Structure 1
């Protein structure tokens, strides 16, 4: 059959088709496996043995670009502080490590410059000279500039200067005064009420000034009449029911008190007037009597009432 078929393809001039061959790979023997393990060769492993091509880290490059090299400063620094010019040494600005000036001129931060190349600080320069004088020689400002320099020292975070200023007048007196006011409940809120009420009344009446009634009392219990002095002497021993008999609100605009401190009513009146003056508000006060509210039996309130006159212009 095969011979006749070949003869027929030859007579017809056609190419004899080649037989199909199937190749079957059998499992490698144990000897071959051992040889492969020793040589480290794995059939078809050529593709995996090519050296890997590194992939660029785009995020890494971007993060490096945000880190600027530390800036080098000259020994003499020209400054423009809010339009006022100063010249000082770099070591002066770096005298205390934990300050804003030391951080600014550490080289880690960007500092803008003006048209003349001076380093610019966007701050009022009126008291910056006092800041430099302290950094140079530890010199403190005169008393009339202590408060202003204290504010600048807070901004620049100069701890040694803050400590020195707080131990001088008028800041020492302010600390004592504030310790007293901290014992007084709702002092700041009452001060705001005075300003707001006086402003509304002045606008409504179209007047240059407004008057308010203010109660200022140090003791919580009322003053007892001469007929019953013993009751008043035992005020700290009264029961809650007895104490409620004396609770009431005086018919005034604002009420201050009570408090427990050596400072008396006149000290508090001085604080109120001076704090209003700090806000540019002129206030005059005078005592116009006492609260005559009847409480129980022969007892009346007797808290002093003051009239405050607030002048707006």
Structure 2
């Protein structure tokens, strides 16, 4: 049976109490927030009969300010409110906040990382390997095989089991379809690691495989060093 909501509703949002009109939370019919209070879904209540939303209560006031007045949050709160707006499916607010400098920068960075397959997983593996390799002298060296395109040998005499330099690699990533090259990936990885607080030495220029028999092996690796002092 459809749930019937009163015209004025009391909300407990992550422990903070709000009172607003039902028409306010339903202002944008395509939002998840409007869907919750459309009558098609059950909304849990707390012990005081307030409708409960499991979200950040301190930020929900900015959501209501936008729904009531079209007002945007201050720049200091734009990013967390953007995440809340995305959670509630408030696309109108999301689109307005995407023009904020901090959020625009984040969007571009995410799109940049998205060029590379399994980027987050690869970065985590690089960090884990650096930690494992730093037990002796606190320097975590990681060899990374990065390839935008697969190398395919054409010479009949080329031995694919020639002891390639890539056999030294701890982590590999590729191929990918964007035009970003391997050096772009390494710069992206280094920038993220530095912003997260790691101390690293600039990566070495690519170390090429020396094999040649009828055709040169085109594969190469990068060396990245973490300093854990």
Q: Which residue of 1 aligns with 2:142?
A: 212
* Match among 294, 300, 304 for residue 210 of structure 2: 294
For 2:126 and 2:225, the matched residues in 1 are separated by 9
| Distance (whole Å) between structure 2 residues aligned to residue 258 and residue 105 of structure 1 | 46
Q: CA deviation at 1:207?
A: 7.2
- The equivalences for 1:36-75 within 5 A come to 67=1, 70-74=4-8
Counterpart-to-counterpart distance in 2, 1:167 and 1:140: 11
* 1:229-308 to 2 correspondences below 5 Å: 240-242=153-155, 245=158, 248-250=164-166, 251-257=168-174, 261=178, 263-265=180-182, 267-276=184-193, 282-296=198-212, 303=220, 305-308=222-225
In structure 2, the residue matched to 1:121 is 53
Provide the C-alpha distance between the structure 1 equivalents of 2:157 and 2:92, rounded to a whole number of angstroms: 51
Residue 112 (structure 1) aligns with? 45
> So what's the TM-score if we normalise by structure 1?
0.55
Instruction: Report the aligned-residue RMSD.
Output: 3.9
Matched, 1:161 2:93: yes
| 1:192 aligned partner | 124
Q: Deviations over 1:166-197 (max 9, x none)?
A: 45444444444444444434534422321332
Larger Rg: 1
Cα 1:288/1:243, change in 2 over 3 Å: farther
Count residues with an aligned counterpart: 223
Which structure has more RCO (C-alpha within 8 Å, separation ≥ 6)? Answer: 2
Unaligned runs of 5+ in 1: 1-66, 222-238
The verdict on how the C-alpha distance between 1:133 and 1:252 changes in structure 2, with shifts beyond 3 A counting, is: same
Instruction: Give me the whole-angstrom Cα distance separating, in 2, the residues matched to 1:162 and 1:243.
Output: 56
- Aligned equivalent of 1:86, options 11, 18, 32: 18
Instruction: Give the Cα–Cα distance (whole angstroms) in 2 for the partners of residues 244 and 189 of structure 1.
Output: 37
Q: Which runs of 5+ in 2 are unaligned?
A: none
CA distance in 1, matches of 2:65, 2:94: 14
Does structure 2 conserve the Cα–Cα contact (< 8 Å) formed by 1:114 and 1:120? Answer: no
- Identify the residue that residue 53 of structure 1 maps to in structure 2: none
